[in-house]
Amino acid sequence: MQETITNTDFEVRSLDSICVNDSRLTHRWYHNIKYLIVGILFGIIFVKAEIISWFRIQEMFRLQSFHMYGVIGSAVLVGMLSVWLIKKFNIKTIYGETIVFPVKAFNKGQIYGGLLFGFGWAITGACPGPLFAQIGTGATVVIVTLLSAIAGTWVYGYVREKLPH
């Protein structure tokens, strides 16, 4: 793939040129079932801890409740500790591969995009994961919000080269 601008999207591993030792294994589709199961557990946590609630996000941005700060803060701490343990004990994947961590380079998109996402987060009361979960709780109209988010991503891809990065 030819890209005129360097990769700014560190979630899409197969595009990340820095990841030279990224997985070369190819798996049949049903190997993805394990990610479906992690997703199901994740969706249950989202609903049970009310993280996908528009009200909880409003409380967070108005400093009216500690709940979301506790959730995100403790998630980051557990994530940090896990990554430290993986590095320290050189833990491998279940396929025996070395675990790699993509290095994120700074670009101005993290500021401009970050602010725009912050606006959207406070309006919709949802970041991308909760959008999927809100639909699952029966709020069918959030399908419109999700489609609009996909449209937003498409428009970003379309105008990307004209934007400051």
Give the footprint of other proteins on residues 45-84 (CB under 8 A): 45-55, 57-62, 64-83
CA distance 13 to 3: 15
N-term to C-term CA, the chain: 20
Nearer to other proteins among residue 20 and residue 27 (C-beta) = 27
90 φψ region: left (φ > 0), alpha (ψ -120 to 50), beta (else)? left
Q: How far is CA 50 from the centre of its chain?
A: 18
From 2, 20, 28, 90, residue interacting with other proteins (rule: CB under 8 A): 2
CA distance 59 to 124: 13
Hey, which residues between 107 and 146 contact other proteins (CB under 8 A)?
Answer: 107, 109-129, 131-142, 144-146
Closest approach, Cβ 20 to other proteins, in A, equals 13
Nearer to other proteins among residue 20 and residue 58 (C-beta) = 58
Which residue, among 111, 130, 119, 122, has the nearest Cα to 71 in the 3D structure?
130
Closest approach, Cβ 138 to other proteins, in A, equals 6
Nearer to other proteins among residue 20 and residue 95 (C-beta) = 95
Nearer to other proteins among residue 20 and residue 137 (C-beta) = 137
The reply on whether position 104 binds other proteins by CB under 8 A is yes
Hey, which residues between 17 and 46 contact other proteins (CB under 8 A)?
Answer: 22-23, 27, 29, 31-46
By CB under 8 A, the count of residues binding other proteins is 133
Closest approach, Cβ 28 to other proteins, in A, equals 11
CA distance to 6, 27, 110, per residue, from 1 (Å): 12, 22, 23
Query: Are the C-beta atoms of residues 54 and 120 closer than 8 Å to each other?
Result: no
